[in-house]
Structure formats: C-alpha cells, structure tokens
C-alpha cells in the first residue's frame, strides 16, 4: 500500500518538472517577455511549502574572528651546566695523578682546575719505608700535594700567530706561584696528513721566602723562555718535538728533542733527550694512560 508521504513526494517532483518545461517554453517564445504560468504549474508550485532562507547569516559586520591559538609545545629541558671533569693516571711509584677542571666561560675558553698527586698512606710505616721515601728515586712521595690554576685560551693576531694561552698556577706546598703565556701557530704541510706547530713560551716563577733571622724574606723571581717545533703525523699518531729553553738562572740555551707515539685508546709512550745546566744529558722514556670523564 502506497503511503501519503510517497504520493506527496511524487507530486513535488512532477511540479518541479513542469516548472522546468514552462521556463524552456518561455525562452523559445519569439517575443521576449514574462512567460505566463500555466494553472497546473501555479497550483503545483503553491503546494511547495519551502522555508525562506535566513539571509542575515551572511551579515559579517558584527562578527568577531578569533585567531586560532598555536598548538602547545612541550617545554624544552633546561641546559645542563658544564660540571667538573676528572681524570686520573696511576704512576709507577704507587701514587696517582688526579686532575680536575671546570669551564668558567665559553668565551675564550676560560677554565679553572687543580692538579694533585695523591698518595695512599699505609696504616703502619716502618723506618725502612720512611728511608725509602727519602732516598729511593722510585719511591712514592711522603705526602699528597697539588697545585691550583686558572687558564684562558684566546685567538691570535692575524698572520703572526693563531692561538694565545695564559695560565696562572699556585703551589701552596712549595710556596710557589707561576704566570706563563705562550703563542703558537699551526701550519698544515701536505694537506691534512702533516702539521707543524711553532710555539714560543714565556714564564715568570716566583718563589716565596719565609722571613727568618738574617734574611729579608723577599720572594725570588725566575724568568724563562722556551721555543719549540712539533711535527705531527695524523695517520700514525706520531709526533716529533725539538726545542730549546733559556732561564735567568742559566747562562746558555738547553736543547731538547723527543718523540711521542699514541697506542691503543688513551695509552701513549714518549721519549725525550735533553741537556741539563750541569752539562750532562738527561734521557727519559715514559708510558701513560690518560682518560677524561
């Protein structure tokens, strides 16, 4: 059985089709004008109860457009401050060389630190142990010691040199202070495989003197200059060093030559031959392990 809703839907479709035919007849008429609406089409159009559109919705004069908010971003984690950097190297005499440093400013690479020699004192010491510490060349020191320093690395001046280093060091156990500066320039040779580094250093060492009876107690100063050249081979990790130094307490230049070879990881071996103020030759061969964390 056909419902009334279905019949009404067919009536609407027929009315729309009739209206379309009437418009087509009006366009084909020879005399332009308003085409008359046939009675059947008017009655069908009257049956269409379509609501009037709300044209006020297009009025945008009173509307306020809000800018969409950007999506929230996760907060960035705070930048971790550069902490202390420790390094330790065991010596052959049983002591340990401990170094600690902390950067102060990234501008010009300013840093402070300390170099210490730590001695593990046994719980009990005999007289033989004490005599060995005083006279044996390979004996560990009798007590721990250390020096504090502040250093700055800055750029050089044009083509003269490319790096300037300044360091101040204080040794309270020896009542000694030292101020030094060095100027260096690196020159590549044959691409990146070889490099030559020239360095000039100037140091002033002040030795404090405790006032005693018969002495004025004024500190003594020693001036020293050093010149060196270092040839490095990148592929093999080998470096050759040649240099000379002159001190205000000596009357001649003291020359030195040496070589250094990097082994596996942080292990390296170095050998040097240098002159002494007494005229004898000093030879040394050392191997060490140095790691920073």
Segment 39-50, tens digit of pLDDT? 555 555 455 555
Q: Provide CATH code, domain 85-289.
A: 2.40.160
C-alpha span between 127 and 100 (Å, rounded): 34
Residue 262 and residue 255 in contact, taking contact as beta carbons nearer than 8 Å: no
* 267's tokens: 């292990």
CA 43 from centroid of its chain's CA atoms: 87
| Alpha carbon distance 82, 85 (integer Å) | 9
* CB-based contact 222:239 (threshold 8 Å): no
Q: pLDDT tier at 31 (50, 70, 90 boundaries)?
A: very low
- The helix (run of H) or strand (run of E) holding residue 15 is helix 4-28
pLDDT of residue 191 exceeding 50, the answer is yes
Output the average pLDDT for the chain: 75
**Strand 176-189 and strand 254-262: pairing?**
unpaired
> Has this prediction a pTM greater than 0.85?
no
Look up residue 261 and give its DSSP letter: E
Give the closest residue to 286 by CA, choosing from 267, 106, 274: 267
Listed by start position, the domains of the chain span 1-29+38-45, 85-289
> Which strand ranges, in their side-by-side order, compose the sheet holding 96-105?
85-90, 96-105, 110-118, 145-157, 161-171, 176-189, 194-207, 220-233, 238-247, 254-262, 267-275, 281-289
pLDDT in tens, 103-161: 888 778 899 999 988 877 665 656 666 666 565 655 666 678 889 999 999 988 878 88
pLDDT, tens only, 237-284? 899 999 999 999 888 899 999 999 988 777 889 999 999 988 889 999
Instruction: Give percent of the chain above pLDDT 70.
Output: 59
């Amino acid at each position: 059985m056909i419902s009334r809703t279905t019949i009404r839907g067919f009536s609407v479709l027929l009315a729309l089709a009739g209206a379309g035919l009437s418009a087509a007849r009006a366009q084909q008429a020879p005399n332009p004008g308003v085409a008359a609406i046939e009675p059947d089409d008017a009655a069908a159009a009257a049956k269409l109860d379509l609501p009037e559109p709300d044209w006020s919705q297009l009025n945008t004069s009173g509307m306020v457009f809000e800018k969409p908010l950007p999506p929230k971003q996760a907060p960035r984690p705070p930048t971790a401050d550069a902490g202390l950097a420790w390094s330790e190297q065991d010596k052959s005499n049983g002591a340990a060389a401990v170094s600690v440093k902390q950067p102060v400013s990234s501008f010009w690479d300013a840093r402070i630190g300390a170099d210490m020699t730590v001695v593990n004192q046994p719980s009990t010491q005999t007289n033989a142990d004490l005599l060995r510490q005083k006279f044996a060349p390979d004996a560990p020191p009798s007590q721990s010691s250390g020096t504090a320093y502040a250093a700055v690395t800055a750029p050089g001046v044009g083509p003269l040199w490319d790096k300037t280093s300044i360091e101040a060091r204080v040794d309270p156990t020896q009542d000694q202070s030292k101020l030094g500066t060095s100027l260096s320039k690196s020159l590549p040779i044959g691409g990146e495989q070889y490099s030559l580094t020239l360095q000039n250093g100037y140091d002033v060492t002040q030795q404090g003197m405790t006032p005693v009876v018969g002495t004025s107690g004024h500190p003594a100063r020693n001036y020293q200059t050093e010149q060196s050249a270092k040839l490095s081979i990148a592929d093999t990790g080998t470096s050759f060093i040649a240099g000379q130094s002159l001190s205000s307490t000596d009357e001649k230049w003291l020359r030195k030559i040496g070589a250094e070879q990097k082994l596996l990881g942080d292990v390296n071996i170095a050998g040097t031959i240098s002159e002494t103020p007494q005229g004898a030759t000093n030879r040394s061969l050392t191997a060490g392990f140095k790691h920073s964390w």
